[in-house]
Structure 1
Amino acid sequence: MNKNIYILRHGETENNRLAIVQGSGIDGTLNQKGEEQAKAFYQKYQEIPFELVVTSTLQRTHQTVKSFIDKGIPWVQLPEINEMNWGIHEGKSYATWMEQPYKEAITDWQNGRYETRLENGESAAELAARMEVFMQWLETREESTILICSHGRAMRCMMTYFFGLPVSEMEKFSHKNTGLYQFLKDKNGFNSILMNDISHLNSDNGFPF
């Protein structure tokens, strides 16, 4: 079955603004800018005939697509697309971990050492395992037009499945708040239409972010 799949990152949270690590252990909410980003996304895509909305279990994704949910579109929450668990670094400033722990983990993952994890956190292998479960679940769905809202690192990993790449390539995929990826799926696989698109946030729409 052909499918039209839209995947976006949640809107901005206060932790995003302050450059504080969230991960799956901090269930932050959208700040005012994030709410405006969500509104802008809805204004541009409200006419798309979505048959299913899929979010993580974290409320920042729920809030980002709330306007679609409020229309009565069926909604599913899946822990498989929750953000990565960053362990002891969650709740701390990016400045305290970007120079060494994070960079070391990223380097290991890029070199195929997927079992590396930050202290008390999740490994790339574990993240990839739940993304594989999610992709298998997605294949079973009968809906043809699906809206998915997830998180930055989770989406990086997810994109490797959509593009048929190894997990070591996930750094290639950037993720701005409400950045949109779109894929059309046919018998030959997934075809990329949009990548991290934020055209709904341009000044022509009244949202000069």
Structure 2
Amino acid sequence: MSTTDIYIARHGETKYNREGKMQGRGIDAPLNKTGRLQARAISDELKDKSIDHIFSSSLVRSMETAEIVAWTFRMKYHSYPELDEMNFGKFEGRASKDIEQELNEVHRTWQNGNTDYAIDGGGESPVMVLERVNSRMNNILNNHSGSTLLFVLHGRLIRIVLSHWLGYPLSDMHRIEHSNGALYHFLKNDNSLEMGYLHKTDHLEGIMDEEG
């Protein structure tokens, strides 16, 4: 029985994260200084893990994080648009505090079980995101069975994917914590998926909070 070692990292911080603005698939922002430090901290944390392959979304913040880690392992990373963050439609680029009531209504809709609901303006539903992400990730996992893999992903997407992996309904995805630079670990055997840890952040301690 082969075991696949799966690490998942949330990308480092961007200006949008710092300013509390919605940053989904429609916003392609680079890392700021803190984000680059977080990416290096991910590298340091994983440097002894013998990573075989690194995968990211096609968004700059994810690719920049993956590139910093890939440099440590002297390897290339592979990016896929199917791993991109959820599209938040009309909320993209807006400050969360300015749309708090509308956001709360969306979250209540999802928590009440309507995970087919998508935000107006070209947004995606949790079900839509899971379908596109799960297809690509299953393909990667099947093609690299027995390897040690790192996925550099996004906050809402991590909530969606890990809820599915842990057997939660998507209406409970808020149970999954996420923050910039956090790590998650799973072990996959032929017929089982075992959680190692969720939302590991101790490697980020001591990082100076820098803008720019």
What is the TM-score with the length of structure 1 in the denominator?
A: 0.91
C-alpha separation between the residues in 1 aligned to 2:30 and 2:41? 17
Is residue 2:162 matched to residue 1:166? no
Alignment correspondent of 1:95:
97
Q: Where does 1:18-167 land on structure 2 (aligned, <5 Å)? A: 18-70=19-71, 71-99=73-101, 101-120=102-121, 121-143=123-145, 144-167=147-170
The residue aligned with 1:14 is: 15
Distance apart, 1:82 and its partner CA? 0.7
1:188 is displaced (CA, Å) by 4.4
CA displacement at 1:187 relative to structure 2: 3.7
Contact conserved, 2:54 with 2:150, CA < 8 A, in 1?
yes
Whole-angstrom distance in 2 between the partners of 1:47 and 1:116: 42
Hey, what does 1:177 align to over in structure 2? 180
Q: State how far apart, in whole Å, the 2-side matches of 1:208 and 1:31 are.
A: 12
Deviates more, 1:7-16 or 1:127-136: 127-136
C-alpha distance after superposition, 1:20-59 (max 9, x if no partner): 1110111001100111111111122122211110100001
Task: With the length of structure 2 as denominator, give the TM-score of the two structures.
Answer: 0.90
Determine what percentage of the aligned residue pairs are the same residue: 31
Alpha-carbon contact 1:131-1:157 (below 8 Å) kept: no
User: What's the secondary structure of 1:24's corresponding residue?
Assistant: coil
* Cα distance in 1 between the residues matched to 2:118 and 2:68: 36
Structure 1 residues 131 and 46: alpha-carbon distance in aligned structure 2, compared to 1, 3 A threshold: same
Gaps of 5+ in 2: none
Deviations 1:128-165 (A, max 9, x none): 21132134213312251000000000110010122122
Secondary structure in 2 aligned to 1:23? Answer: coil
What is the rounded CA distance, in whole Å, between the counterparts of 1:114 and 1:44 in structure 2?
35
